[in-house]
Structure 1
Amino acid sequence: MVGVSGGSGIPYAVDVLRALHGLKVDGQPIETHLVVSSGAKRVMSAEGGPQLADLTQFATHVHEDRDLAASVASGSYRTDGMLVIPCSAGTLAKIAHGFADNLLSRAAHVTLKERRPLVLVLREDPLPRPTLQNMLAAHDAGATVMTASPGFYHSPKDVDELLHFVTARVLDQFGLDAPGFKRWREDDEE
């Protein structure tokens, strides 16, 4: 399950979905359910970068954020976890405090209550006290809170390599390997 909320950073979501689209587990392709918030749609329009079609082309299932009767709104619908990338401060606050007024926040709530992995990737700076408190509340509820903070030890040559670094670190949280990701000192062990 991948949720995209209204934080700047939609290219991160595209890169994650692209990577998931090409991965297989036990020989089977990974099934992805995508929910894009209305805030994310506004950000896409304002930033002029990736658009909705850039996200949906890599998803197996696409759900409307207002559809609280979607399969992923129920704990009885099994998923391997959920990722929210980017996760806006508003979506973080909803998740941290159990406010499930749309499908994205409801699916995150279900993920927590069923004790499945929930990864929230914030792309926001600076972080004011309420956001820091919400990050801690989400962590204490069982979520993994990350920031979209690319590393540079792999000598990235372009923006795509910076995006892919974050994708690889996010997929690590689900025990998945991002194709083409070079880990720290990986060549030293060969």
Structure 2
Amino acid sequence: MKIRGAKFADINGISYVHSESWKTTYRGLLADEYLDKITAEGRRGQWIRTFESLNNDKCVFVAEDKNGRIIGFASGGKCRESELDFDGELYAIYILKEHQGRGVGRLLLKSIVRYLKSKEYKSMMTWVLEGNLSILFYQKLGGQIIKDKEIKIGNETVNEVALGWNEMEEIIR
């Protein structure tokens, strides 16, 4: 497995991982009708916009299997939550279900942290849908629950939890 910086040519692979991961990660947390409508093509437009607006405050990394197929990705950058006292943010991390539990998430997260540290960010936070088992993953790596809020996804109102790290060192040890 290989972790590397993502490039525009990776958009189709990232879009596929994004759409498939949503279907497996959020099944039982969000309505099936909503999840069943998610497609890689639908996510593609979002990723084109992301890559067109990439700057020094944002990064995207991909994980590839031994055949060069994208099996996961992570993105991060400057914290978008001005009322929270964190300078960096993990925007997203998704891995195909069959590759979860093998250390891919930890490697992707470490790549984001190293990038943020290279930009002199000291702290980081992320938002996670309540009920998502990745909350335990982040807590195991030292993330502390700092806030929650209601958000609307599709026709549902769901709760999202923010986890934060005042020091990112414990993630990359």
Q: TM-score, normalised by structure 1?
A: 0.32
Higher strand proportion: 2
Higher helix proportion: 1
